[in-house]
Chain A
Amino acid sequence: MASLSARIVIRATNRELEIPTGLFIDNQFVPSVDSASEPIQAVNPSTEEPICSVVAGSAKDIDIAVAAARKAFNTTWGKNVTGFERSKLLNKLADLMERDQDILAEVESLNNGKPVKIARDFDIGDSIQCLRYYAGWADKITGQTIEVDNKTKLAFTKHDPIGVCGQIIPWNYPINMWAWKVGPALACGCTIVMKPSELTPLTALMLSKLIAEAGFPPGVVNTIPSLGSVGGAALSAHMGVDKVAFTGSTVTGRKIMEAAAKSNLKKVSLELGGKSPQIVFESADLDQAANWACLGILYNTGQDCTAGSRLYVQDTVYDKFISLLVPKAKELVIGDGFDEKSGGGPVVSKTQFDKVWRYIESGSAQGAKLALGGQKRPGKGFFVDPTIFTDINANMDIVRDEIFGPVLSVGRFKTEEEAISLANDTSYGLGAGLHSNDANQCMRVSSALEAGTVWVNQYNLLNNNVPFGGKKQSGIGRELGSYALEEYTSVKAVHWNFGEKLDWPL
């Protein structure tokens, strides 16, 4: 039997470590029950070299994990554990993540490509706070008592945990997306079968080890790296899973919702794609707006569901703004995540690299002008440099489709109405940003933009206690804040008769 761990050497930091590579079920790392299951290889996108292989779960492994989660829900978790206990364990998990933040950051960078410092200070820093935030909610899940008839009835609601939750997370923020899912689900008393992305399974497995160390009972959290079409499909169609939460592409989101509908009508929450607009009005602080615009499209190398990938600038300040924007974007150094100089890393895989380049080529082919970028880098690594297109129109693929790379499309507008119309002309509705020093305009426009998150004079910055999610085809449901708790609770209304006698026949 193959060993269920791998020795990894990180040359840049001289670190040697053992990573668990088995499936995590009932607090143990185990092989697949399916001997035909091909392992998944994790790749370093900066060097294109393999890192190690992990066991890939099959549909049968999903069955076993779901059974373990169900057993835990019925015996040691769910209604068998108090909010206070759940709170303590979540806080312990946060402490352990903090203890291991340097190692986790290095592996996150190795597998995903993002700079190590950003992984540690932002991805992991935010994840620790997220877990602590939800630890604080665990003992505050309240129902209501409701006045009906004081002489005869006591009516109240209980906010029960939904049950066994399938959670499918993406590769762009592996650790952060893990925390966003695990936090509220555990706080509410649900058990989890987590399928991390097949591109970035390593940190999810390391975090699973921390779950066991923190003291969560076996079966509460189970981790099955797997191909989406195998493990993800199995979870969304599973008759024993009460709820599926998915973050990823809109295309896959549809499949998940279909599978849920066809199987047991499990509850579904989806965090999908976006083609989020930023609007720069003439009264804006242009220098600041240019900074936020850069952050919006270049952070995480554009691999962000809320990436501000469309930018609309008011006529009167267009030229000035572009002259500020282009040099700023150029300043970003895309490179190996372990290089101190890198402000951004490669895109995560060959598939993504090819996809982004197809869009860059289509932009030029469909008549947009390149203000920055357009030169493919030779050599190893899936590096894509900041790219800016101008002179766009609404029919271009680069304007309609989510590219998920550092590629910005810039347009212009005359009036506020036109800006709003351009911004809302999309089937997506995840994020939007506007830059203006006219307070009334800020209020009007933020009200009119059809997006789940609207940033005013800012972009991209989220907080664990403020909800996040999509309108239109960007998603269903909300993560973060108290709102995430609703996704993991099931409301039961209790009508307790203590004084009414029924006559029969009526």
Chain B
Amino acid sequence: MPSTFTHEFNTPAFKGKVSFSTGLFINGQFVDGSDNTTIDVINPTNGKVITTVSEATPKDVDIAVEAAQKAFDTVWGLNAPGATRSTLMGKLAILMQENADELAALEASDNGKTFNFARNVDVAGSIDCIRYYAGWADKVTGQVLETTEAKLTYTRHEPIGVVGQIIPWNFPLLMMAWKLGPALACGNTIVLKPSEFTPLTAIKMCHLMNEAGFPPGVINVLTGYGGTTGHAISSHMKIEKVAFTGSTLVGRKIMESAAKSNLKNVTLELGGKSPNIIFDDADLEQAVNWAAFGIFFNHGQTCCAGSRIFVQEGIYDEFLKRFTEKTRSIKVGDPFAPDTFQGPQVSEVQFNRIMSYIESGKQAGAKVVVGGERQGTEGYFIQPTVFTNVNPSMKIVQEEIFGPVGVVIKFKDEDDVIKQANDTVYGLASAVFTQNLNRAINTAHRLKAGTAWINCVNSLNANVPFGGFKQSGIGRELGEYALHNYTSVKAVHVNLGHKM
């Protein structure tokens, strides 16, 4: 029997009791893993175990795929009209709204982000996303194409079938919504692996999906490790498509597995080292605030974090002074305290990784203007950190740190900074701060990134596409564009009279 997670929250931000089964969710049921093993879920504020969840093995992936295929062939796929899918997704959104506080509390305790952000960004954004895609479900249209009068030619945008989805730990619930939304809207069935670090909100969602009335097998959620469960999904011969959000390193493995197995369709949302470019004529106060948000939001654990901050020489000193002050004012502490901005990093592994990047920066001769050390002695808290005096060959400039560590770089002019900004294997996002809108548009168009922010950073909307150029990814999420990832186009040619 899978365990039940029962907990009484008694925090300044949230009080309430939660209780739900933490088994694998297959065919509408919560079950043990095939090997009867479990994974510990750790509280990153103190390293202690919150609860255990069942562990999935490749055998469980097989079982889940079979359930998903059966559902696709009988109660989902082309058997469930768009309006039906829309109604169920609408119900799910309502249930998420009713359980919003609990979802936020689970997210905060599991991931370490503050309850306030979890509630107002992650949970709110997830609800909006599911609602948005519920609206698409009955609007997936093909085309009728003009060829000759002897032929009727049209396309159908059919669901792909069973899709595999592997999501990360930085926005657990939000990343689940981004994946479920378009996949369900288009009629696919799903085998989803949440991160082994942050499975709780995904499991709670399974309970809500049962309550909403999704037929068994439409969504299956397997908590397991990347190397086993994740690998089984990406190399499965009966999964026709895999969607992954996570590191570029793992993204490569997923694409390789897909190639070696059944050439399944692959979409990837990977890492970034996104430039944030601040020109002399920027609104300085705003630029400072957005720059801080750009790198320190979610403890720097954001794929599109503006982690390389380019400041034009004319305002460099003033910017640095204010930016340092702003960084120093960030409150690091208990995710459930109302005025906390930054909680702990998600895990010990991440903590060590970030600390070693900070160390490498120091070793390479970069200057720490603020932070640079662990915060406190318990849990995985790191001081918001800013480096200057860096050069492009340093690891802290080239590689994605995924922590509250920003580098500030001085630049001369437009051509110079665009060259520096584009000098990266990544291409996820970019930001430009200037009052000169012509220059803003011109710069935005020249930056090689899937998102260009002008006078803002980290500002997303459910209906605007998001994804990477270059090694930051393949394909787009959000907006209508995400639907392309989950449909398979069939062209139908009906001969009306051409005799051979």
Contacts and interface: CB of A to CB of B under 8 A. Distances in A.
Contacts of B137: 136
Contacts of B494: 443
A440 B494 CA distance: 9
A318 to B, nearest CB: 27
Given A132-B86, A140-B136, A499 B496 contact: no
Chain B interface residue bracket vs A:
20 to 34
Contact of B128 (A84, A132, A133, A136): A84
Contacts of B264: none
A443 B496 contact: yes
Contacts of B83: 129, 133, 464-465
A139 B480 CA distance: 11
Given A136-B86, A443-B494, A444-B496, A465 B135 contact: no
A343 to B, nearest CB: 26
Contacts of A138: 135
A133 B83 CA distance: 8
Given A129-B83, A132-B90, A136-B86, A498 B441 contact: yes
Contact of B141 (A150, A444, A447, A482): A482
A145 to B, nearest CB: 11
Contacts of A150: 445
A137 B438 contact: no
A396 interface: no
11 contacts: A83-B463, A132-B87, A136-B134, A136-B139, A139-B132, A140-B136, A140-B480, A154-B441, A154-B445, A443-B152, A498-B437
Contacts of B437: 498
A142 B480 CA distance: 10
Given A133-B83, A154-B441, 18 more contacts: A84-B128, A87-B135, A135-B135, A136-B138, A137-B139, A140-B135, A140-B136, A140-B139, A140-B480, A142-B480, A444-B497, A447-B149, A447-B496, A465-B82, A465-B83, A482-B141, A496-B441, A498-B442
A276 interface: no
Pairs A-B, 3 closest by C-beta atoms:
A136-B135, A498-B438, A443-B496
Interface of B: 82-83, 86-87, 90, 128, 131-132, 134-139, 141, 149, 152, 437-438, 441-442, 445, 462-463, 480, 494, 496-497
B418 to A, nearest CB: 15
A91 interface: yes
Nearest to A482: B139
Contact of B496 (A91, A140, A440): A440
Q: Is the interface of B mostly helix, strand, loop or mixed?
A: helix
Interface of A: 83-84, 87, 91, 129, 132-133, 135-140, 142, 150, 154, 440, 443-444, 447, 464-465, 482, 496, 498-499
A183 to B, nearest CB: 13
B497 A137 contact: no
A133 B84 CA distance: 11
Contacts, number: 60
B442 A499 contact: yes
Nearest to A443: B496
A87 B131 contact: yes
A133 B138 contact: yes
Contacts of A133: 83, 138
Nearest to A498: B438
A129 B90 CA distance: 12
A351 B52 CA distance: 75
A84 B464 CA distance: 13
Contacts of A87: 131, 135
B500 to A, nearest CB: 14
Contacts of B496: 440, 443-444, 447
Contacts of A84: 128
B106 to A, nearest CB: 25
B138 A137 contact: no
A440 to B, nearest CB: 6
A443 B82 CA distance: 26
A11 B376 CA distance: 76
Contacts of A137: 135, 139
Given A133-B138, A440-B497, A465-B138, A140 B442 contact: no
B81 to A, nearest CB: 9
Given A150-B445, A154-B441, A498-B441, A140 B497 contact: no
A475 B197 CA distance: 60
A133 B87 CA distance: 10
A84 B127 CA distance: 12
Contacts of A132: 86-87, 90
B384 to A, nearest CB: 32
Contacts of A482: 139, 141
A200 to B, nearest CB: 27
B325 to A, nearest CB: 35
Contacts of B131: 87
A362 to B, nearest CB: 40
A137 B132 CA distance: 9
Contacts of A139: 132, 135, 462-463
Contacts of A465: 82-83, 138-139
A427 B318 CA distance: 76
Contacts of A496: 441
A242 B445 CA distance: 37
A99 to B, nearest CB: 14
A311 B457 CA distance: 64
Contacts of A440: 496-497
Contacts of B480: 140, 142
A462 to B, nearest CB: 13
A140 B149 CA distance: 34
Contacts of A443: 152, 494, 496
Nearest to A129: B83
A440 B150 CA distance: 10
Given A440-B497, A443-B496, A482-B141, A136 B442 contact: no
Nearest to A134: B135
B181 to A, nearest CB: 12
A214 B8 CA distance: 36
A237 B170 CA distance: 58
A212 to B, nearest CB: 22
